[in-house]
Chain A
Amino acid sequence: MYADTSASVRNGQIIDWSDPPETSLGQFRRMVIEGVGDGARLSALFAEPERSSEAFRLTAVLAWPEENALSVVSCPIGRSYQSLTPECPAAGWFEREIAEQWGIHPQSHPWLKPIRFQPPHCGEGGGPLARRAIGLADFFRLEGEEVHEVAVGPVHAGVIEPGHFRFQCHGETVYHLEISLGYQHRGIERALRGGPDRRTRHYFETLAGDTTIGHATAYCRAVEALGGVHPSARAESIVAIAAELERIANHIGDLGALAGDVGFLPTMSYCGRIRGDVLNATAMLCGNRFGRGLAVPGGVDFDIDAALAQEVLHRLDSIERDAVSAIELLFDAPSVMARFEGVGAVSEQSARAIGLVGVAARASGVPCDVRHEFPYGIYQFTQMPICTWHSGDCFARAYVRWLEVQQSLAFVRERLRSLPPGDLNRNVSELRANQCVVSLTEGWRGEICHVAITDDRGRFRAYKVVDPSFHNWFGLACALRGQQISDFPLCNKSFNLSYCGHDL
């Protein structure tokens, strides 16, 4: 912890940003590199232009799990600075993003190339990564006899999001995989500037369609902090119920999809149906299967009355019964375990170095879960155990999902049975000017980090969104090293990362 030169706050606590603490680049680098070495997670790293000058301000959010504290470190930089990535690999993709968005050159970055092929946020861009057609970049190449390259995507054979994957193979063995995304870039961060307005909430609800509640909650908590409003315990419980239903639905869907990828039909078909049942339960809460329109700054727009709670509880019983039989069948089938075990393993050491978050990190034995480490909302008053597994392979990622489904089911039941009284929605009127807030939530994929900075009028001067997929895509590339190329779809599904959450 570096209290002297950085702001140390709780999750969702505001920091006065009218005069950010002065730090030199050297101090900044030391704090980030040593902090990550000492067990902090690099939750966000971004640049924004200074208000008064041509220069930029580089800001890092370090999350300290053991202290339940977030340090926000920032320093002024010019058009180039010494890259953090060689000492702190978790910064790799963040620095590529910074270079692309602002034309800032992180010197001696080991693999500097465009990340989304998006137009620069200001000026001509130029810089180290002049704008080019999407997908056109240097790919790492393996040379030698019988080495071959396989390019997959961005158009895939199934109905999935677009992304380009470049494999360097020798026979069936993958030596290197490089992932090139950006096809879903919509310019959300740019559109958020000057907000919040009537569209802002909807941007978050559709930022990654399967993480509607996760991102909407992170946004609402940021705005509530900036507006000085605390939602009631009832509203927080309802949001948490929806968030856990989202987790249950997606995890069950993923387990079914994993079964489908190895051709194990019974679990695939049943899980597809059960996922629909969970989504329908969400629809009973707010009229939308993905929970759109439920969470608003200051609380929720929909109440759960006793009859509805009973009905959802009743449905959860049949959901759990079906899920147990379908998923235990999956874990009991030797032919399935032969496909899952030992495939696509990521060691705990790699997981920490890359900065994996969420299910992928927990499957590698890294106990990280925002609900537990940086509790927010109703999680501050209830204990959410962290589910981990040690092997880091496809089995671990599947099994952690199943453990979490069971935990979440128990949590939702408990919350539905003991909904506290309270008003639903406390309006947020004005946001405070020149403040910065970091809002972390645990989406079903993992840690979601939103950083909002307001200007003199209390509008968003900068809004940084870090989806868990942004941390984890590189983990997928690493998991494939030395694996069979035919196991790629299985590994990919076991991570199940979001393309649009990454591309923003």
Chain B
Amino acid sequence: MTALASILHVVLAITLSPLLLGVINRTKAKFAGRTGQPLLQAYYDLGKLLQKGAVYSSTATWVFRAGPVVGLAATLIALAFLPLSGAPGLGAFPGDLILLVYALGLLRFMTVLAALDTGSAFEGMGASREVQFSMLAEPVLLLSLAALAICTGKAGLSDIFASLPTLDSLQWVPTALLASVALFVVLLSENARIPVDDPNTHLELTMIHEVMVLDHGGVDFGLIQYGAALKLWIFSALFVGAAMPWRIGQPVMDLLVGVGGVFLSAVFVGVVESVMARLRLIRVPQMLASAAVLALIAVIWAVR
């Protein structure tokens, strides 16, 4: 039953992740008094991109072409270890949280390399910003997961999330609360959402993630967009794991509740994007540092 749930989770993540973007956009449209684009717009975009050819700069090397493919592969690897509610990660093993974090690190590394490979001033600027902010976001992610690991005494992501609710509530609730706030900040930062980045802007000079992929087109760009949707799913699932650890006891039902939680977190993202402006770029590190402090307090509470 749990194996079935794990497989189902991977299938759901692969098919439903672009829908998360639709949910975010719809939430934002509601706040702005607009009708908004169709819920399935991200699928239409992907369909369109996959039918297009790509143009490659004569100065770009194989690194530029490898970026999107390796990036998507790394994201899929991370997905294979991702638990969601009742469904443990497909390839779960003790210590897989490190692998998950570094699979995402590999995705970023390849995106940055591909951006630098174009030699464009914009992309270099975007790469520099991406690296600067993820250098601060990665420790927050690891610290939050470490707090939960210490709290439960487990080393595998799936075990951690599964055993959280079995503990004494005074022991796990504060840790999970702090960790989930920190994870949500990382979610916003790593997925290029407001207040860190603005996914809808057309202003090259303010972009972070979008500017790094300006030179990609066609199928390559489709892979990048799809990878970004999957990445959003992964971070949402981690957030849901810490914020909604309760279980019904029936793996498939639990999984469906978890999927609901993932979409709920997409609504949250939409709300955050609707009620606040983007931070100045020099203020972003301060926000990430605050998240790091929260994660650190979570660790302290867990080892106490």
Contact = CB atoms under 8 A, between A and B. Distances in A.
A149 B281 CA distance: 19
Contacts of A148: 121, 124
Interface of A: 148-152, 156-158, 172, 259, 261-266, 268-270, 273, 333, 335-336, 338-339, 343, 484-489
Interface in B247-283: 273-283
A264 B276 contact: yes
Contacts of A263: 194-195, 198, 200-201, 273, 277-278
Contact of A485 (B124, B200, B205, B273): B205
Contact of A268 (B32, B121, B282): B32
A265 B41 CA distance: 19
Contacts of B195: 263, 335
A152 B28 contact: no
B202 interface: yes
Contacts of B279: 335, 338-339
Q: Quick one: which of A148, A266, A486, A488 has the most chain B CB within 10 A?
A: A486
Given A149-B121, A150-B125, A343-B280, 7 more contacts: A148-B124, A157-B203, A158-B202, A172-B129, A261-B201, A264-B277, A266-B33
B122 interface: yes
B203 A158 contact: yes
A259 to B, nearest CB: 8
A263 B201 CA distance: 8
B204 interface: yes
8 contacts: A157-B202, A157-B203, A158-B203, A262-B278, A263-B277, A336-B277, A484-B281, A485-B125
Interface in B175-201: 194-195, 198, 200-201
Nearest to B211: A157
B283 A338 contact: yes
Contacts of B33: 266, 269-270, 273
B304 interface: no
A269 B32 contact: yes
A341 to B, nearest CB: 10
Interface string B216-245: 000000000000000000000000000000
A489 B276 contact: no
A487 B280 contact: yes
Contacts of B201: 261, 263, 489
B35 to A, nearest CB: 11
Given A339-B280, A484-B280, A484-B281, A265 B274 contact: yes
Given A150-B121, A157-B203, A485-B205, A266 B274 contact: yes
B56 interface: no
Nearest to B280: A339
Interface of B: 28, 31-34, 121-122, 124-125, 129, 194-195, 198, 200-206, 214, 273-283
Given A270-B33, A486-B205, A489-B203, A151 B121 contact: yes
A339 B121 contact: no
Contacts of B282: 172, 484
Contacts of B28: 265
Contact of A339 (B34, B205, B275, B278): B278
B280 A486 contact: yes
B125 to A, nearest CB: 7
A294 B279 CA distance: 44
Contacts of B124: 148
Nearest to B198: A263
A335 B278 CA distance: 7
B205 A333 contact: no
Given A158-B203, A263-B195, A270-B32, A333 B276 contact: yes
Contacts of A261: 201, 203, 206
A262 B281 contact: no
A148 to B, nearest CB: 7
B211 to A, nearest CB: 9
B277 A157 contact: no
B277 A150 contact: no
A270 B32 CA distance: 7
A266 B28 CA distance: 9
B206 A333 contact: no
Contacts of A150: 121-122, 125, 205
Contacts of B32: 265-266, 268-270
A308 B140 CA distance: 62
Contact of A486 (B34, B202, B281): B281
A481 to B, nearest CB: 16
A488 B125 CA distance: 14
A268 B275 CA distance: 12
Nearest to A158: B202
A483 to B, nearest CB: 10
A492 to B, nearest CB: 9
A85 B119 CA distance: 39
Contacts of A485: 125, 205
Nearest to A172: B281
B204 A157 contact: yes
Contacts of A259: 277
Nearest to B195: A335
Contacts of B277: 259, 262-264, 333, 335-336, 338-339
Contact of A335 (B122, B202, B204, B276): B276
A266 B32 CA distance: 5
A152 B206 CA distance: 12
A150 B128 CA distance: 14
Contacts of A157: 202-204, 214
A262 B280 CA distance: 9
Contacts of A488: 205-206
A336 B121 CA distance: 28
A258 to B, nearest CB: 10
A147 to B, nearest CB: 12
Nearest to A149: B121
